[in-house]
Amino acid sequence: MTDTRKLSQAFEHTFQRAPEVVVHAPGRVNLIGEHTDYNEGFVFPAAINFGTDIAAARRSDHTISLLALDYSGSTSHFNLDDIQFDRAQPWSNYVRGVLKILAEKHDFQGMDMAITGNVPQGAGLSSSASLEMAVLKAAASLYNLPLNGVDAALIGQRAENEFVGCSCGIMDQLISALGKAGNALLLDCQSLNYEYHPIDPDYQIVIVNSNVKRGLVDSEYNLRREQCEEAASLLGVGSLRAATMDQLLANRERLSDPVFRRARHIISENERTLDMGRALENSDYRQVSQLMADSHRSMREDFEITVEPVDSLVAIIDEVLGDRGGVRMTGGGFGGCVVALVPRDLVGAVGHAVSTEYQARTGLRESLYICTAEQGAFSETT
């Protein structure tokens, strides 16, 4: 976790007073359920022990004054009555966006904020949603706003969609807001209903960044969305969430091969994601292993979003785990991270195998993060 004492000292040095609150919002990793979110399906993320911390205090005017410790102490200032997109300080647009939308619904004054975070940048662990939820938690805490986790997540999603210009789903914000320590969250992206499922305390979440430079993400992501929409249209359903495998197979001749395979991934991935909840409830890690392996195979062969170094990482970790844990690519694809559920007694062996074999196979060096499932910014402590 971040050293909040240093954060508070930086706040005091810059703003010449002590912060009134220090808040935290976690990043996240998705255990299973990839590209299902925009198809109104199911996802299964966990909040992790990397996130964003904000020290903040109220002001008597409408000015928002920001200090970003992770950008060489960059500052940004704006007025709540006239929030504009800032091309010079793009990091500030996540703050601007959520406060612009929050101000449509609630009355509050200005704030001074010092911001820092330790979510690895560019790893697909959702540093942006973590920042958004931390900003909203700070504002809600300072001004006693009646904001719950779902409200905050919807504001964060709108900010990214409408202000920042990123067409994201709701998963990242919701898990950052509503994560629960020791649990993953099974989220229905259509209804926003969710339920928690425990991760066995003898297991840890291990995330390995392939450090592949991702070049095709945006264009290929948009293409996958279009192919999923085409499949849904040809099957006569509002989204692939409503389609069944029997329905898909019966209409195979009407779909091009790529569109058929994209739909097969989404339909089967939704089934795997629901099965994952049952497997975790039963501590059936043999089943977890199979589900995560099938998910990765489907992403590689049907959705075609993995790359060779990521496939190598999965193979290296799978050789250590066998059926005692699971491993798969996580995130949008074309690089990024793999996620593994690893028994604690195998964490060292996984780390050793990755460090000795990944570079030899690919010429790349990985970054490895050992994680635990943590509380969300708006979760009630129990």
Please answer whether residues 30 and 329 qualify as being in contact, where contact means their C-beta atoms are separated by less than 8 angstroms.
Answer: no
Residue 235 in tokens: 């099957």
Q: Do residues 92 and 66 lie in contact, with contact meaning Cβ atoms separated by under 8 Å?
A: yes
Q: Which H or E run includes 158? A: helix 149-158
Bridge partners (DSSP) listed for residue 356: none
- Dihedral sign for Cα atoms in the order 103, 136, 131, 77: positive
How far apart CA 363 and CA 86 sit, in angstroms, is 38
Q: Which has the closest alpha carbon to 35: 342, 358, 361, 330? A: 330
- Between CA 269 and CA 276, with CA 273 as vertex, the angle to 5 degrees is 135
The token pair that represents 257 in the structure block:
């091969």
Catalytic entry in 37, 112, 151, 172: 172
* CA separation for the pair 48, 121 (Å, rounded): 14
129 exposed, middle or buried (CB, 10 Å; 0-12, 13-18, 19+)? buried
Contact yes or no for 178/381 (Cβ under 8 A):
no
Cβ neighbour number for residue 44 with a 10 Å cutoff: 25
Beta strands 183-188; 194-198: pairing state: antiparallel
* Element (DSSP H or E) covering residue 329: strand 326-330
A 10 A CB-CB count for 93 gives 22
Residue 180 phi/psi, 5-degree rounding, is -130, 130
What's the rounded Cα separation, in Å, for the pair 58 and 248? 55
Active site residue 257: no
Nearest to 178 by CA among 159, 156, 161, 160: 156
Q: Which active-site residues does the annotation give?
A: 172
